[in-house]
Amino acid sequence: MEKEIIITEVALRDGSHAIGHQYTVDQVATIAKALNEAKVPYIEVTHGDGLGGSSLQYGFSKTDEMKLIEAAVSVVDFSKLAVLLLPGIGTIENLKEASKIGVKMARIATHVTEADISKQHIETAKNLGMETVGFLMMSHMAPVEKLVEQAKLMESYGADTVYIVDSAGALLPNEVRERVKALKNELAINIGFHAHNNLSLAMGNTLAAIEEGATRIDGSIRCLGAGAGNTQTEVLIAVLERMGIKTGIDLYKLMDVSEDIVSKILLEPQIINRDSLTLGYAGVYSSFLLHAKRAAQRFGVDSRDILMELGKRKVVGGQEDMIVDVAAELSKEKITIG
Ligand SMILES: CC[C@H](O)CC(=O)C(=O)O
Ligand SMILES: [Mn+2]
């Protein structure tokens, strides 16, 4: 049977981390329109930390995300809009509002061991008639059996798809393979994969996931995502075409969106530098990058030391306040030793 891979473009959500949540209505409308013309099936738009993410803890958005979602909805006639929601940050009310605006897919994200908190949100999204995804973040932190157990919970709540999310870009190809294989064996729903390129493994890991049966794949155009970014969408489409795998996306048009539009809004090109590399090496949430850089500057310490310590303490999403605590502790040690 011919393989078909369904892509979700996440630059307008995951990429929000990389630009400090500064998207404007104009930028979102222009990019969404161009992605729609390139026939990208799903486009995700929200604050980087999902609906309701705009806050002191996660960083304030320049523009109300509902305005961004509205702008995207108004320019698409092919692509479907998706939102991310982390229970505890986003609310059922946010979900209802997004659905009313015209969002067709809800991706409910939890830490890999906390799927049980997604029940109410998955069920509500289903009742609203939305396609529903369970998004298991920081998947490298749980053994395969735990991941399967948690994915089964999301399936039992009604999720149409469960994603393995390599939030830290820390998974190795063999670890991706064993995770996808186990989920394929144990679940009846679609399996998805979301990568980060901190160890330069996003493409390799994505191909490994596809080979093991994942059919829902995330990419960010121009690599515009947290940390070193995600699997670069336009590159992935070219590779998949070479492999004879269909996505329905127009490669030339996507290249043009990357080159002519998205490159212009990047603060700096998405590269693997010492900070993003340390995220993957230490197994730290990619969205912590800018917070750690700011804390390093404020306390006069090396951002890599902060990230390594966060990795050692197994800090997870929602514990962003720990970044400042760790930086302060490291600076105190420095003064004491010095
Ligand atoms: C904070 C939400 C996070 O950015 C979701 C995601 O894309 C990931 O865990 O990689
Ligand atoms: Mn991500």
Domain membership of residue 1 (yes or no) is no
Which of 233, 265, 297 delimits the end of a domain?
A: 265
- Measuring from atom 7 of ligand 1, which residue has the nearest CA? 14
Are the C-beta atoms of residues 192 and 133 closer than 8 Å to each other? Answer: yes
Residues 6+ apart with CB under 8 A from 188: 155
Q: How far apart are CA 22 and CA 60, in angstroms?
A: 8
C-alpha dist (Å) from residue 138 to 31, 37, 71, 107? 28, 33, 31, 15
Residue 226 phi, psi dihedral angles, 5° rounding:
-65, 155
Looking at the fold, whether 129 and 161 belong to one and the same domain comes out as: yes
For residue 274, pLDDT beyond 60:
yes
| 214 and 287 share one domain | no
135 found inside a domain: yes
The answer on 195 and 317 residing in a single domain is: no
Average pLDDT, the chain: 97
**Residue with tokens 């990619």, as numbered in its chain:** 286
Q: In the numeric block, which tokens belong to residue 181?
A: 């294989």
Arithmetic mean of pLDDT, 54-73: 97
Residue nearest to atom 10 of ligand 1 (CA): 167
From 9, 13, 14, mutation site for ligand 1 pocket: most ligand atoms within 8 A of C-beta: 14
Q: Are residues 100 and 186 in the same domain?
A: yes
Question: What's the CATH code of the domain at 171?
Answer: 3.20.20.70
Task: Using the predicted structure, report yes or no on whether residue 216 has a pLDDT greater than 60.
Answer: yes
What pLDDT digit, counting tens, does each position of 148-206 carry? 999 999 999 999 999 999 999 999 999 999 999 999 999 999 999 999 999 999 999 99
Secondary structure class of 47 (helix, strand, coil): coil
Q: Does one domain contain both 11 and 113?
A: yes
In this structure, are 182 and 105 located in the same domain? yes
Picking from 265, 287, 309, the residue at the C-terminal end of a domain is 265
Same-domain pairing of 92 and 133: yes
Model confidence over 219-234: pLDDT tens digits? 999 999 999 999 999 9
On whether the pTM is more than 0.90, the answer is: yes
Q: How far apart are CA 245 and CA 185, in angstroms?
A: 22
Query: 79, 48 in Cβ contact below 8 A?
Result: no
Cα–Cα distance for residue pair 128/302, rounded to 1 Å? 47
Q: Which residues line ligand 1 (CB under 6 A)?
A: 14, 48-50, 109, 137, 165, 167, 194, 226, 286-287, 317
Q: Are residues 91 and 184 in the same domain?
A: yes
**Residues 289-292: contacts with CB under 8 Å, at least 24 apart:** 289/17, 289/226, 289/227, 290/17, 290/18, 290/20, 290/59, 291/59, 291/320, 291/323, 292/323, 292/327
Both 84 and 207 in one domain: the answer is yes
- Per the structure block, which two tokens stand in for 170? 């820390």
- Strand ranges, E, within 195-301: 216-219
* Pair 155, 296 in one domain: no
- Dist. CA 333 → ligand 1 center (Å): 31
List the CATH number of the domain containing 309.
1.10.8.60
- The pLDDT value recorded for residue 14 is 98
Proportion of the chain above pLDDT 70, given as a percent:
99
Confidence class for position 2, pLDDT limits 50, 70, 90: low
Q: What is the distance in A from the centroid of ligand 2 to the CA of 1?
A: 30
Domain that holds residue 178: 6-265
Rounded Cα gap, residues 219 and 292, in angstroms? 24
Whether 282 and 315 have beta carbons less than 8 Å apart is answered as no
The count of domains in the chain is 2
- Cα separation, 41 vs 39, whole angstroms: 6
User: Quick one: 304 and 260 in the same domain?
Assistant: no
* Domain stops at, among 224, 241, 265: 265
Residue 310 has pLDDT above 80, yes or no: yes
Count Cβ atoms below 10 Å from residue 308 Cβ, excluding itself.
18
Tell me what pLDDT residue 333 has.
87
Residues 295 and 220 in one domain: no
Model confidence at 1: pLDDT above 90 = no
Each residue of 84-133: pLDDT tens digit? 999 999 999 999 999 999 999 999 999 999 999 999 999 999 999 999 99
Q: Give the Å distance between the CA of 191 and the centre of ligand 1.
A: 17
- Kindly give the number of the ligand 1 atom that is closest to the alpha carbon of 17: 4
